[in-house]
Amino acid sequence: MMTDEQRARVPGILREIIDLDRKIGAFRDRVAAAPVLPMKIGNEARRLRRLRDELTAGARQLYGRAPLRGDTGPGRPTAVAA
């Protein structure tokens, strides 16, 4: 889990994505505990997913698909060939 200090260093739209992911996680816990789901919960799930997709698309336009600074993902000089 990300600490508050780490979260504070994350740029704006990425911080929004992190916050939304936390909301989605709490929502999943609530859904998993319910034996029967009302329609409004399904609508909320779709709304959260759409919002997450919009934020991801916005972040992709700003940052591209490359890993963030310090990440040793594919295409980075520090990445180890598999």
* Within-domain flag for 2: no
6-62 confidence digits (pLDDT tens): 888 888 888 899 899 999 998 888 888 888 888 888 888 889 999 999 998 888 877
DSSP state of 80: P
Task: Please tell me the predicted confidence (pLDDT) of residue 64.
Answer: 67
* Within-domain flag for 54: yes
Find the domain containing 52 and state its range: 10-82
* Within-domain flag for 5: no
Helix (H), strand (E) at residue 67: none
- How many domains, in total, are found in the chain? 1
Cβ atoms of 21 and 53 within 8 Å: the answer is no
Q: What's the CA gap between 3 and 25, in Å, rounded? A: 16
Task: Please tell me the predicted confidence (pLDDT) of residue 47.
Answer: 92
